[in-house]
Structure formats: structure tokens, C-alpha cells
Structure 1
Amino acid sequence: MPTPDRAAGCAQCRDAQPLGFEFSYAFQPIVDVSARRVFAHEALVRGVAGEGADTVLSRVNDENRYTFDQACRQKAIQIAARLQMASYLSINFYPNAIYRPEVCIRSTLEAARRYGFPIKRIIFETVEGEKIDDGKWLAEILTEYKRIGFKTAIDDFGAGFAGLNLLADFQPDIVKLDMALVRGIDQSLPRRSIVAGVVGMCGELGIDVIAEGIETGEEARCLADLGIRLMQGYWFARPVLEGIVTDAQVPWLA
């Protein structure tokens, strides 16, 4: 997808039509295994009755992508505030739906004020699998978000869309390892070597690493041995529709 046309984007913002469908969120914890606490909850889009993400995302297209992105941010903040979420809130965003970062973020800031959710506890992470042809544009978006006070995260690091070239232009607060690197890492020397290299590089750059998609205790222990303290996956807890997970509900933290 080419770099968004800024003027056209602002017109789309001004003239945006109602989304036309409802959705909700499930929240999955990201745990800090060193501190033995829940570090954040990632907001994962769902149907209003808990239907899978595909039932919602299949209705997103080029015409409603901006409206959906804006609605997602506001809905996630609204529900997190209602649940009195004390951890960080991680919200996925569509870089290709942003035309002017300083303008497109206004409704998010208004939602945070309206619902009383601190912006310093919001993490914006790039949408899983969204192809970004203009890495410098993504760096510009993330730089503006970081300036405002949000934490920033690059999802699927190592999957091809977000890699070393992006880190050369912008250093986010967090990178999330692509789950293909995590799967079976305890039985794969190449995966362990690659992840160890990423952990070392990110440590030098002051970037935290989250390993996602963890499904076994062996994977979790191997990642901890490699120096990763932030982890996410079914091994710890499944997403909860409009609900949060407390430290006491994650057996691995006990």
C-alpha cells in the first residue's frame, strides 16, 4: 500500500461515516515473570458475543479502515477504564489508516480524558501482519506517539514487515518477537541463537522484548534463560472477553 495521501486522509476524517457494525474486546495478559506480576493486557478485537477476530476484521476495508482504527482505540480505553485495569493497556493500531499522527491521535486523547485512563499506561503496537511499505512513515508515527507520552511497540519482529531497518530509524519501547521464533524454541538451536541475538541488540538499544504465543512451560523456561522477562501466551492465560486477569489467576506467577 502506498504512503497515505495526507489531504485525502484529513477529508476522510472529517467526512467519516458510521462504522456500521459492533465489536468488543477480549484482553490477554502479558506477564513479567521476573517481577511475578501482570505487566499489561493486550486488547484483542472480538465480536460482541465473543466471536473470533476474523468475524470483525473481515468487515474492515480501505473505505472504513480509518473509522475502525479510531473506534478501536476508544472502545479499548472505555472497557479498560470500566474494568479498572491497573496494568498497561496495549492497543493495536493500523499505520496505514493514519494520515497526520498529531491530528489522528486527538480522539484517542479525548477518550483517555473522558474515561480517566492515563495515557502513560497505554501502549500502541502495530497491527499483526499489516504490511508497511514506508518504514520511515511508521517511524514518524511512532515518534509522535512517544513524544505525546504513549509507549510504543513493534509487533511480529522478525516476520519481515518490521525489522532491522525500522530499528535504525526508530527505537520503540518494546519489540514483540514473532511467534514463529518462539514456537518450539526449547528444541531449536537456530531459534535460540536468533532470539539471543535480538535480546542482546535490544538490550543495547534500551528496548524491552516480549515473547508472545508461548504454549508450553519448556518454551517459557527457555525464553527466561535467554533473558526475556515479558511473556504472553496460552501457557499463562487465554484472552478474557471484557475481563482482565489478576496476578493470582496466573499459576506460573505463584
Structure 2
Amino acid sequence: MEISEKYRQPLECSACADSVGLDFDFTMAFQPIVNTKNQEIFAYEALVRGINNEPAGVVFEQVNGDNLYRFDQCCRTKAIKLAADLSMPTLLSINFMPNAVYQPELCIRTTLNAAETYGFPIENIIFEITESEKVEDLEHLKKIVAYYRDRGFKTAIDDFGAGYAGLNLLSEIRTDIVKLDMALIRNINEDLVRQVIIKGVLQVCQDLQTTVIAEGVETKEELVTLQSFGIDLFQGYLFAKPLFQRLTAVDKIDFD
């Protein structure tokens, strides 16, 4: 993807936080990822929202090939600033689109500057690889992930089992975390085929020492089935919906 030169220029953290360089503004909601074994919040995922809590789709309609890189910069800065403002005590998970990162060292600089400016520890940041389209350059993505991990960030494959985020990607990209897509999770208690598939993925991840998170959990039956497979980390409406510019308190979550 050819990125317009005006969007390649780095911005100060305050400019990214204010969406300078974009023709639209946006903010974040946060959804917890919970550990049901320890009954703790493991992380919060930052999810894009409009400034009046419009859904992510409304924001993404305004993202294009020209402003994708600037949007990615602003996303990570806004997420880090809000997490710091809210005194987030856990890991912070930020999505990134591989095709938006043209030079990982510059994107890392944006993140490091934001973490330093707003006082958020870099070791508490997870970068989730989000694939809405096929990665244009797999070697480039491998370089990005390696660069992030070498500098202390955690990495994750999001929506594993959907679209392009499958075993082929896992075989090429070594991340700390794999997030099972909600399409695999939905009604898992009634689907023997998907139960076998998830058990197989869990064995692969265990051998690779990769942490597994089940996302999109909505029912107790799904939860119990997944727990029986040995999964401890979950995300979904069963526990909490995303809160607009706020964090769900741990005492508001039913872990049982």
C-alpha cells in the first residue's frame, strides 16, 4: 500500500491524541479480558468508538489508504493516554493493522513516546494483529512482531480461526497470545467438531508456550465447556460489555 507522504510525518503525542492529521475524531471503549481461575482482570482491550460512542464501523468508514498509517498512530496514542488517565492496573491490548505499519521502528517510537509522555509501562502493552484483509507482506509482518517483542511489548493474534488468522499465520508468526475467534466459540457446548478443533489448537499453543484467550463468550454453557478444556482467560458479554472511556471494575464481574 502506498501511503501519502503527508501522513508519514511523525506527530507529537498531543497531536495524535487530538487526531491532528485526520479529518475525523474518535476515542476508545474498554472491554476486560478476565482470568476465571484467579478471578482477576487480565487485561483491557481498547476498542475504537466515535466521540459520541458511535460504533467502530462508523469510524472505520472514514479510514482509507491515505490516512491508515496516521489512524494507526492515533489509535495507539489515544488508547495509552486513556489507559493512563484511568489508572489502568492491568495489561492494555491495542489492535494494529499489519498493512498500516510501513516502518515498525517509527511506529514503536510513537508508542514509546506515548507511554513515556502519559506514564504507562510498556511491559503492560499487548499488540493484537488484526486482519480484516490478507497481509500484503508476510516477511514484513514477521519483522514487525519480532521488533515489538524485542522491545518488551507482548503480541497476540486476534480472531484466530477466522479469515486469514489461522494455523498458517501461527506457523509463521510467533506471538505470546492467541485469541480464539467468537465464531469458534459460539455454542461450542453443542458442537463436537469445533470442540475437537479447539482442543487441537490448545495442544499446539501449549507446545509453543502460547497463551490462549477465548473471545466472544456469551453463555455459561460456552464458558463451562471451554474451562473444561483448560482455558482460563476469557472475553465476552457474559462478563462485561465494552464501556465508553471507562473501565469495568473487578467487583462488577461475575466470574462463576
- Per-residue deviation, 1:13: 1.1
Aligned to 2:102: 99
Decide which of 154, 165, 182 is 1:151's aligned counterpart.
Answer: 154
Q: CA deviation digits over 1:72-93, x for unaligned, max 9? A: 0000000000000001000001
Residues 156, 162 of structure 1: 8 Å contact kept: yes
- Tell me by how many angstroms 1:166 deviates: 2.2
Query: Where does residue 83 of structure 2 map in the other structure?
Result: 80
Query: 1:52-99 CA distances to partner (integer Å, 9 max, x unpaired)?
Result: 111111000001000100000000000000000001000001110111
Rate the CA distance shift 1:15–1:208 in 2: closer, same or farther, 3 A: closer
Does residue 65 of the first structure (1) align with residue 68 of the second (2)?
Answer: yes
TM-score normalised to the size of structure 2? Answer: 0.92
Gaps of 5+ in 2: 12-19
User: TM-score if structure 1 supplies the norm length?
Assistant: 0.93
Alignment of 1:20-35 (within 5 A): 20-35=23-38
For residues 103 and 248 of structure 1, the distance between their equivalents in structure 2, rounded to whole angstroms, comes to 39
Answer yes or no: is the 8 Å Cα contact 2:180–2:215 preserved in 1: yes
Once the 2 structures are TM-superposed, how far is the Cα of residue 248 of structure 1 from its aligned partner?
0.9
Q: Which consecutive aligned stretches of 4+ in structure 1 deviate over 3 angstroms post-superposition?
A: 8-12
1:195 equivalent in structure 2:
198
- 1:94-138 deviations in Å (ceiling 9; x for gaps): 110111111222111100000000000000002252321332321
Match status 1:166 vs 2:169: yes
Contact 2:189 2:222 in 1 (8 A): yes
CA displacement at 1:9 relative to structure 2:
7.3
Q: Which 5+ residue runs of structure 1 have no aligned equivalent?
A: none
- Give the aligned residue type for 1:90: S
SS of 2:255's partner is helix
User: Identical aligned pairs, as a percentage?
Assistant: 50
Distance 1:174 1:20, change over 3 A: same
Report what 1:140 is aligned to: 143
Instruction: Give 3-state SS (helix, strand or coil) of 1:109's partner.
Output: helix
- 1:91–1:125 Cα contact (<8 Å) kept: yes
> Is the 2:131–2:163 Cα contact (8 Å) retained in structure 1?
no
Q: Using the alignment, how far apart are the partners of 1:189 and 1:148 within structure 2?
A: 41
- C-alpha distance in structure 1 between counterparts of 2:237 and 2:177, whole Å: 20
- Report the number of matched residues: 248
What does residue 111 of structure 2 align with?
Answer: 108
Mapped to 1, the partners of 2:9 and 2:28 lie a distance apart of 26
Give the Cα–Cα distance (whole angstroms) in 2 for the partners of residues 149 and 63 of structure 1: 30
On the 8 A contact 2:212/2:231 being kept in 1, the answer is: yes
